[in-house]
Structure 1
Amino acid sequence: MIRAINDILRRIPVPVIWLAGALPFALLLWDTFTGGLGADPVQAIEHRLGRTALYLLVAGLAVTPLLRLTGISLMRFRRALGVLCFAYALPHVLAWVVFDMGLLWSQMGQDLLKRRYLLFGLVAFLMLLPLAVTSNNLSIRRLGGMQWRKLHKLVYPAALLVGLHWVWAVKVNEREPYFWLFAILLILGFRVLIRGRVSWGRVLGRV
């Protein structure tokens, strides 16, 4: 069964993921031009871009746990998921800078100091920036595989900050942000557990 699923996944071209990842943005554009964003279109744009970025980030993080737990491999699509995540995170930040803050840099600085969730979100974005820039084969060759992997471990603290960013941004009792923060913590905890097992296995193997 798992082999059949993986055979099907291997037949799916990576560009299909890019096209699927572009659909939320296309729907956002449609709602923007047809007046479907509600009473506060700026907030709707920011929130939809941010949520989509988070969904893609969690999807990328879940690839390795899914492989280890079920044997289903989505490794071919992980890079596309990561770049798509940043492709939504960038306009999410720009929407806040341009539409919400009106390019008022001093006001932005004050808001970052006053509202912790904004600071967490910005730091997470800055962590994701070098990952997006180096998500190509040329960067892997220039950095070397080991250094490239070390750099891309920034995705883990970035994901945690993104989860906290959403939880602290909500002003009402919403369950969804807590669900996604829990999902991020679960994935990160699983990776720590697996890493610990591997380390102990190596130690015991040398005894």
Structure 2
Amino acid sequence: MNKLLLHQAAKPLVFLLCLLPFAWLVFGAVTDGLGANPAEYLIRSTGDWTLRFLCIVLAVTPLRVSLKLTGLARYRRMLGLFAYFYVAVHLLSYSWFDMGFELGDIARDIAKRPFILVGFAAFVLLTPLAATSFNRAIKALGAKRWQRLHKLVYLIAGLGLLHFFWMRAGKNNFAEVFVYAGIVAALLAWRVWHFVRQKQKQKQKPAAARAPAVARVQPTKS
């Protein structure tokens, strides 16, 4: 499996697969195939794909570590940028189709409606993560600062879930919300478990290193 992930054609193929939902939406818009309310369909679909890509990004490390798929690491940055791409299209669709690019109306709507405020906050927090997903940014920030900054993805996923929940609340349709919440909860639980396990291993290493030295010191027989 690692050989396939590391193949030179694998990354362009994954890129095209990530672009397929957007291409399908564009095709639907051009051919008038987005239903009776194309604007609502575009806004909802791009929001759904943003949440899906956030789940995929969060799943990369658990899958890489658990299944020893080291090749997955090379896709994490690209998947994160696609999450930002879809949330940007989501915001653009809302600003264009719902608000007609009236900045004053957009600002008032964000302040008035909590689910839009939460979604916009997620977009704002995701922006610096996308902006620092490059080698120069990592070098400029330093590895530790960069890692701390990119842990915001957990908060962003939580805000995305809350945004999704409030959007579905008006329609009393929570099935998808529970699915995404379950996925995110499971991935976060794995992270906590892995962190605790690594800490325990670090504590055991010094004890294991001292054990041979203690064993060599034997009481002399009289």
TM-score for both structures, normalised by structure 2: 0.85
Q: Is the 1:167–1:181 Cα contact (8 Å) retained in structure 2?
A: no
Q: Equivalent of 1:9, from 5, 29, 34?
A: 5
Matches of 2:79 and 2:122, distance apart in 1: 17
Aligned to 1:65: 62
Aligned length: 203
Q: Is the 1:86–1:128 Cα contact (8 Å) retained in structure 2?
A: yes
Aligned to 1:85: 83
Matches of 2:4 and 2:14, distance apart in 1: 14
**Structure number, greater radius of gyration:** 2
Q: What RMSD in Å do the two structures reach over aligned CA positions? A: 1.7
Identity of aligned residues (%): 35
Q: Is the 1:17–1:80 Cα contact (8 Å) retained in structure 2?
A: no
Aligned to 1:55: 52
Shift of 1:174: 3.8
- SS at 1:140's partner residue? helix
Matches of 1:111 and 1:24, distance apart in 2: 28
Aligned to 1:166: 164
Spell out structure 1 runs of 4+ moving beyond 6 A. none
Q: Which amino acid aligns with 2:3?
A: D
Q: Is the 2:53–2:80 Cα contact (8 Å) retained in structure 1?
A: yes
Matches of 1:158 and 1:164, distance apart in 2: 10
Aligned to 2:184: 184
Shift of 1:125: 0.7
TM-score for both structures, normalised by structure 1: 0.90
- Within-5 A mapping of 1:183-202: 183-202=183-202
- Within-5 A mapping of 1:98-109: 98-109=96-107
**5+ residue gaps in structure 2?**
208-222
Aligned to 1:36: 33
